[in-house]
């Protein structure tokens, strides 16, 4: 595997090699990102290099000689760490997703970019954590021309690129839409509020609206609302578009990158306690469960079914051995649409849910399969997060001139070759409510609420994965170091301000232990 090469820019994060050595660069600076002109020149230079290489032989010869894998990143929406059978789910069955674990690698200490949608996806796409990236919370903010995405890096390396599902990083007519951020093809939702509605009146194909026969009275500006006439289910349309695209391009001479950002099992928040929208409840209709839990179960079943359909297509097209498939979730489980995350124990052994920086809000499943390359049936405790996807995909694609990022490539972990770099620390910041920051270094995890001046909680994840025992008073030196890292990781952005909070020195209330609902 070729070594990753970087632009001559300051690196936004410092990392360690497995033996603890390596660079330790200071973060106290303004993050440098390429200006639009430099970005365009960079991407054009890389693309030209791959184009020249393709001229040496015909298209089929070029693909035969190109051993770089196709890359598929499947991301569920608000799926908890405990919602999959292969991660301990006892009631709901996910055999097709479990196949990825059986035939590939399961990560047990992998984290989302944030605890809600938009910032988590921004971290994934740009490789910058929430102390550096442009979109650090949910809202109507768009990626800028100077923000370089993983799709642009892969496209410059000669990949065909497509996104199906929920984007959340750019709105109609803006610089942030997928087709202006490196994707050749897009079908789905641009706006996250629009994506709440599973029976919308339109979806977006590239840069235009595609009308649907659903009827949504009092439809919101972005397409949000609750349908009264439900004829076409958005997830099914998005999934079919992904399969159709795969059918069109599977025999092409170039490798491809598919970002399949499905919306299941997110709730339609506008429907309040009837927000777990599905076309039908199937086998769960007769269960003695609350209606939202029947809907949630049907969503998980549908998600698993469609992962199976995608894997079957790869088998049918002879692409299984040449495609690395990742599966994950954008953050922890939700308590929305009438759904109770305790009902199916969606966060497993973890504390917290979506919007928390406890483990349950940010630790997510990650599965990776590449037959013949990634050892089957393996488990890794590599500690990583969404910022790692950009450098990992870049190394798999042998892309050059990768922009500055906060990630490390985990290709050595996937392939069990070479020395795996380790993060010096992982960092998150979140602005909703009282605001909070979190940092993980080794087995230590610290949370500060509110940001900057709040009380710090400290947990040892090696013995307390449920974060029940705050050790801050017993380890003041560790608290001081974790505080320093939080201060170091945050680069101010005028778009993101902390709201004042009363009683900033008061510790957050400890949530009671979970009790399983009667079923």
- pTM for the model stands at 0.88
Are 258 and 195 within one domain?
yes
> Is 134 within the bounds of a domain?
yes
Residue 2 has pLDDT above 60, yes or no: no
Q: What pLDDT score was predicted for residue 60? A: 45
| φ and ψ at residue 324, rounded to 5 degrees | -95, 125
Q: What's the pLDDT score for residue 499? A: 78
Pick the range with the lowest mean pLDDT from 318-327, 349-358, 491-500.
Answer: 491-500
How far is Cα of residue 255 from the mean position of the Cα atoms in its chain? 22
More confident residue, 33 or 216: 216
Interatomic CA distance for residues 413 and 381, integer angstroms: 10
Percent of the chain past pLDDT 90, that is, above it, reads 82
C-beta atoms surrounding 433 within 10 Å: 13
* H helix or E strand, kind and range, residue 51: helix 36-54
**Are both 385 and 458 inside the same structural domain?**
no
For residues 334 and 471, membership in a common domain is answered with no
pLDDT, tens only, 98-131: 999 999 999 999 999 999 999 999 999 999 999 9
* 12 touches 405 (CB < 8 A): yes
User: What does the pLDDT average to over 19-32?
Assistant: 32
Residue 501, burial from CB neighbour count under 10 angstroms (0-12, 13-18, 19+): middle
Closest to 145 in 3D by CA, of 113, 118, 170, 119: 170
CATH number of residue 211's parent domain: 3.40.720.10
Contacts with 324 (C-beta within 8 Å, 6 or more apart), sequence order = 69, 70, 71, 72, 368, 369, 370, 373, 374, 396, 414
Tokens 């998005």 belong to residue: 238
What confidence tens digit (pLDDT) does each residue in 266-275 have?
999 999 999 9
Count of domains forming the chain: 2
User: What pLDDT was estimated at residue 26?
Assistant: 31
pLDDT band at 6 (very low <50, low <70, confident <90, very high): very low
Write the secondary structure of 168-235 as one string of H (helix), E (strand) and C (coil): CCCCCCCCCCHHHCCCCEEEEECCCCHHHCCCCCEEEECCEEEECCCECCCCCCCCCCCCCECCCCHH
Q: Is 475 a residue whose pLDDT tops 80?
A: yes
DSSP string, 379-434: EE---EEGGGHHHHHHHHHT--SBPP-S----HHHHHT-SPPPEES-EEEEE-STT
- Verify cis geometry, omega within 30 degrees of 0, for the bond prior to 495: no
Final residue of a domain: which of 396, 413, 444?
Answer: 396
Residues 371 and 515 both lie in one domain: no
Check if the beta carbon of residue 115 is closer than 8 Å to that of residue 354.
Answer: yes
| pLDDT tier, 401 (very low <50, low <70, confident <90, very high otherwise) | confident
- pLDDT for the residue numbered 65: 60
* Whether residues 375 and 435 fall in one domain: no
For residue 20, being part of any structural domain is answered with no
| CATH number of residue 456's parent domain | 3.30.1120.10
What mean pLDDT is reported for the chain?
89
pLDDT at 509 over 90: no
- DSSP annotation of 364 reads -
pLDDT band for 5, please (50, 70, 90 cuts): very low
- Contacts of 40-47 with CB under 8 Å at 24 or more apart are 42/7, 42/156, 42/401, 42/403, 43/148, 43/152, 43/155, 43/156, 44/156, 45/401, 46/156, 46/157, 46/399, 46/400, 46/401, 47/155, 47/156, 47/157, 47/158
DSSP letter for 87, please.
G
Please give the pLDDT value at position 63.
54
Tokens of 330: 């954008």
Would residue 26 count as lying in a domain?
A: no
Angle 420-366-456 (CA atoms, 0-180°, nearest 5)? Answer: 80
Comparing CA positions, the residue from 283, 280, 263, 286 lying closest to residue 334 is: 263
Q: What is the pLDDT of residues 251-305, one digit of tens each?
A: 998 999 999 999 999 999 999 999 999 999 999 999 999 999 999 999 999 999 9
| Mean predicted confidence (pLDDT) in 446-474 | 98
323-329 vs 70-76, strand pairing mode: parallel
In a domain, 450, yes or no: yes
What is the structure's pLDDT at 66?
A: 77
Q: Same domain, yes or no, for 232 and 282? A: yes
Structural domain of residue 316, as residue ranges?
33-396
Among residues 380, 396, 412, which one ends one of the domains?
Answer: 396
Tokens 């037959």, located at residue = 371
Quote the CA–CA distance of 81 and 212 in Å, as a whole number: 34
Q: Do 337 and 438 fall within a single domain?
A: no
């Amino acid at each position: 595997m070729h070594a990753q090469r970087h632009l001559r820019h300051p690196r936004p994060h410092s990392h360690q090699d497995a033996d603890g050595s390596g660079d330790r660069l200071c973060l106290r600076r303004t993050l440098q990102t390429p200006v639009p002109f430099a970005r365009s020149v960079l991407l054009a230079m890389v693309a030209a290099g791959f184009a020249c290489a393709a001229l040496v032989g015909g298209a089929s010869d070029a693909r035969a000689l190109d051993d770089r894998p196709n890359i598929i990143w499947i991301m569920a929406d608000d799926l908890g760490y405990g919602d999959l059978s292969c991660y301990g789910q006892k009631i709901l069955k996910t055999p097709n997703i479990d196949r990825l674990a059986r035939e590939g690698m399961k990560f047990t200490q992998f984290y989302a970019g944030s605890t809600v949608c938009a910032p988590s996806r921004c971290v994934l796409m740009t490789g910058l954590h929430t102390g550096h990236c442009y979109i650090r919370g949910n809202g109507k903010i768009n990626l800028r021309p100077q923000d370089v995405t993983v799709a642009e890096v892969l496209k410059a390396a000669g990949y065909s690129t497509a996104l199906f599902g929920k984007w959340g990083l750019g709105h109609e007519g803006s610089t942030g839409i997928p087709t202006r951020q490196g994707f050749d093809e897009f079908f789905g939702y641009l706006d996250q509020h629009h994506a709440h509605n599973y029976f919308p009146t339109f979806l977006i194909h590239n840069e235009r609206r595609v009308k649907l026969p659903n009827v949504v009275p009092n439809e919101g500006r972005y397409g949000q609302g609750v349908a009264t006439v439900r004829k076409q289910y958005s997830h099914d349309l998005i999934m079919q578009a992904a399969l159709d695209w795969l059918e069109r391009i599977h025999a092409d001479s170039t490798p491809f990158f598919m970002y399949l950002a499905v919306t299941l099992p997110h709730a339609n928040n506008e429907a309040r306690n009837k927000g777990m929208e599905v076309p039908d409840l199937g086998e769960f209709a007769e269960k003695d469960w609350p209606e939202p839990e029947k809907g949630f179960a049907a969503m998980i079943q549908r998600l698993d079914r469609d992962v199976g359909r995608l894997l079957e297509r790869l088998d049918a097209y002879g692409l299984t051995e040449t495609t690395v498939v990742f599966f994950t979730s954008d953050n922890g489980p939700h308590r929305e649409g009438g759904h109770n995350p305790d009902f199916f124990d969606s966060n497993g052994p973890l504390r917290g849910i979506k919007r928390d920086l406890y483990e349950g809000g940010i630790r997510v499943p990650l599965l990776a399969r590449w037959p013949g390359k990634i050892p089957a049936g393996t488990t890794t405790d590599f500690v990583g997060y969404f910022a790692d996807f950009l450098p990992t995909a870049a190394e798999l694609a042998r892309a050059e001139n990768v922009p500055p990022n906060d990630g490390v490539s985990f290709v050595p972990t996937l392939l069990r070759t070479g020395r795996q770099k380790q993060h010096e620390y992982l960092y998150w910041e979140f602005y909703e409510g009282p605001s909070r920051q979190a940092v993980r270094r080794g087995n230590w995890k610290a949370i500060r609420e509110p940001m900057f001046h709040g009380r710090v909680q400290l947990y040892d994840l090696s013995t307390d994965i449920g974060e029940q025992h705050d050790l801050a008073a017993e380890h003041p030196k560790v608290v001081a170091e974790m505080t320093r890292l939080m201060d170091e990781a945050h680069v101010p952005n005028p778009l993101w301000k902390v709201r004042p909070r009363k009683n900033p020195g008061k510790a957050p209330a400890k949530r009671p232990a979970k009790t399983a609902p009667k079923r």
